[in-house]
Structure 1
Amino acid sequence: MRASRLVQLLLLLQTRGRSTATQLAGELEVSVRTVYRDIEALSEAGVPIFCEQGRGGGVQLVDGYRTRLTGLTTDEADAVLLAGLPGAAADLGLGTVLATAQLKVLAALPPELRGRATRIADRVHIDAPGWFHRPDETPTLATIADALWHDRRLRVRYGRKDHEVVRTLDPLGLVLKAGTWYLVARHRADIRSYRVGRIISATQTGESFTRTDDFDLVAHWAEAAEGFAKSMLRVRARCRVEAAHLRFLRLGFEPAAVTEALAGATAPDAGGWVELTLAAESYPVLAHGILPLGAHAEVLGPPELRAELAETAAAMHARYHP
């Protein structure tokens, strides 16, 4: 375990540069005291590592020091050609860079692992988009990505449902969600998400901007995605469902709606039924989500939804029992 941790510590310093002992301890999930012991061990092994005290100090390697990739396990070698999505890299104009990086990594592998790693590409292919999903045309993506890499401000024309808007944006990140690209950008004081396929034109203004150190793309996207999913749940209905069929809610409702419904569900009654509130973006969508449950669910309200389902059930009965 310690040998693996020493390699991880060395690679952290090599890729991130100067770090405090506290930061390293958090990353390695050990105590600060253990970090100092590991630093001493690396120094004794001939690694040019040193510490600077005081404000702005930290642990770092001598400038220019690089270690070779050694000691990879079989599983790590298997993962070499699975890191990243080639399609996404190509979209961003990094396809050649990715291929070159993989060749360099493979060249550094021991011969017995190199062949195993190259076989991965022949046996595993990652196809991120879902079925029946046609990716957006994204002719502006390369321009957006270039602005993102260099912290350059963008002027974009963005197509909404019935009109276009012009925005000056500070690009903060790109997200590939189920085969669709989204730009996360700051517009004035707000951080918003823009579907890249709807960006009609994008030009760099020539201005630079300063990214805030506290912006976390992964955390922001997770929060924004959850907020978007909840915002779509505009209508609700009180229902009762047989407990044994609750698992089928996921077939007709969004995950956020199912989570909300189950969180507020009552305990099963003597007959095995629970009461809960189901949500969707509209009453027709709500009705379509409930219908697959058949006789195992009942809408208690609102009355108009009960009437709609009763009418649908009557029409189905008439069709199958003329």
Structure 2
Amino acid sequence: MKASRLLHLLLLLQTRQRLTTPELAARLEVSRRTVLRDVEALSTAGVPVYAERGRNGGIVLLPSARLSASHLEPPELEALSVAGLDSALRERMGLTAVWESAERKIAACQAAAPESPSPLADLVLVDSTAWFAAPEAAVEVSDLASTLRHRRRLRILYRRSAESQASTRVVDPYGIVAKSGRWYLVADDQGDSRLLALERLSAFEQLDAPAVLQPGETLRTRWAVLKKRTEEQDRVSVTVRLPEKGLDLARRILGTRIHHVSDAEKGSCVVVVRYPDIESVRQLLQFGDHIEVLAPETARARISQLARDLADSHSTPAS
């Protein structure tokens, strides 16, 4: 533990060259006394690091001292291999610590080349969570990912979206996918590949039998097929009129369901939205009176009925 902390301390100093004792104590999550002891130990070992006293003092690493931090440990390389995960998703996977360790090493290497352009990490931020929603997985994602490494069959307790009770089933897993802030288990269920939302998976158990996967198929190939199948389910086209100024909000709420947007005319746009069925038009109630459903007639009738039901449920009873 101490060796890891000393390395962390050196990487921080190589990145910033000078830090106060309180700053280092906060970063390392230790006391100030421990920081000073670590600095003394490094100095005794011949590392050119020392403590400066006074108002502008701090812990200083001489510029001539450059630690070779290019070597990444296997867990750090593994964390970087799933770079599409944001901080919240990495936390669920249990990768936060090794990711931060890799980041410190990369930052220290960048500090060794001060003339290089600003790193992309300072300019690009990836946030994979969905807008206005934060669905939580019912199981620990890190535990499931660790179990999947063994490539065994799983017995799971899972509730389908149309069911009120969970049922037990045995599946052959390919892996897990993070999509728009939601986690999915990709698995074969009785030979048919499925997307199983983790918020509806309440328990899992690893079996002794190895997973029986379709020949030549991987997590990526199965995901591509399932993603296409899911998106192609949107077979009902609903035409709506929206104010032009509400188009950005519509794109955030409707996402890839938007199939076409007309040019603005008199301050409004005509938008074609694709749904798997007419009942899904209830999503459009989020726009309140800023939207008008134009076609098909079945969608107009359904949204009208939904609006009446909503108004009736909120009406004030006669005294």
The letter for the 1-side match of 2:155 is: R
In the alignment, the residues of structure 1 paired with residue 271 and residue 180 of structure 2 have an alpha-carbon distance, to the nearest angstrom, of 34
How far is the alpha carbon of 1:231 from its aligned partner?
2.7
> After superposition, where does 1:11-90 map in structure 2 within 5 Å?
84-90=85-91
In structure 1, the residue matched to 2:191 is: 189
In structure 1, the residue matched to 2:99 is: 98
Is the CA contact (8 Å cut-off) linking 1:140 and 1:202 kept in structure 2?
Answer: no
> After superposition, where does 1:171-210 map in structure 2 within 5 Å?
171-209=173-211
Is the CA contact (8 Å cut-off) linking 2:70 and 2:105 kept in structure 1?
Answer: no
How far is the alpha carbon of 1:143 from its aligned partner?
2.9
The equivalent position to 1:305 in structure 2, one of 273, 281, 301, is 301
How far is the alpha carbon of 1:210 from its aligned partner?
5.4
In the alignment, the residues of structure 1 paired with residue 233 and residue 145 of structure 2 have an alpha-carbon distance, to the nearest angstrom, of 29
Root-mean-square deviation over aligned CA pairs: 5.2
How far is the alpha carbon of 1:292 from its aligned partner?
3.4
In the alignment, the residues of structure 2 paired with residue 111 and residue 211 of structure 1 have an alpha-carbon distance, to the nearest angstrom, of 47
Is the CA contact (8 Å cut-off) linking 2:148 and 2:175 kept in structure 1?
Answer: yes
In the alignment, the residues of structure 2 paired with residue 105 and residue 256 of structure 1 have an alpha-carbon distance, to the nearest angstrom, of 35
The letter for the 1-side match of 2:290 is: P
TM-score, normalised with respect to structure 1: 0.50
The equivalent position to 1:285 in structure 2, one of 279, 282, 289, is 282
Summarize the Cα distance change of 1:105–1:84 in structure 2 as closer, same or farther, 3 Å threshold: farther
In the alignment, the residues of structure 1 paired with residue 274 and residue 187 of structure 2 have an alpha-carbon distance, to the nearest angstrom, of 33
The letter for the 2-side match of 1:96 is: A
How far is the alpha carbon of 1:195 from its aligned partner?
1.1
How far is the alpha carbon of 1:287 from its aligned partner?
7.0
1:148-207 Cα offsets, whole Å, 9 max, x none, are 222122111112331111121222121112221111112231111111122111111133
In the alignment, the residues of structure 2 paired with residue 283 and residue 151 of structure 1 have an alpha-carbon distance, to the nearest angstrom, of 37
Is the CA contact (8 Å cut-off) linking 2:152 and 2:172 kept in structure 1?
Answer: yes
> Any idea what SS the aligned residue of 1:153 has?
strand
How far is the alpha carbon of 1:208 from its aligned partner?
2.3
TM-score, normalised with respect to structure 2: 0.50
Summarize the Cα distance change of 1:249–1:132 in structure 2 as closer, same or farther, 3 Å threshold: closer
Q: Which runs of 5+ in 2 are unaligned?
A: 1-68, 72-79, 263-268, 312-319
Summarize the Cα distance change of 1:126–1:255 in structure 2 as closer, same or farther, 3 Å threshold: closer
Q: Which runs of 5+ in 1 are unaligned?
A: 1-67, 71-78, 266-272, 316-322
In the alignment, the residues of structure 2 paired with residue 299 and residue 257 of structure 1 have an alpha-carbon distance, to the nearest angstrom, of 16
The letter for the 2-side match of 1:305 is: A
- In terms of fraction of residues, the more helix-rich structure is 1
How far is the alpha carbon of 1:144 from its aligned partner?
1.6
Is residue 215 from structure 1 mapped to residue 214 from structure 2 by the alignment?
no
Summarize the Cα distance change of 1:215–1:104 in structure 2 as closer, same or farther, 3 Å threshold: farther
Aligned-residue identity in percent: 20
Is the CA contact (8 Å cut-off) linking 2:137 and 2:183 kept in structure 1?
Answer: no
In structure 2, the residue matched to 1:251 is: 250
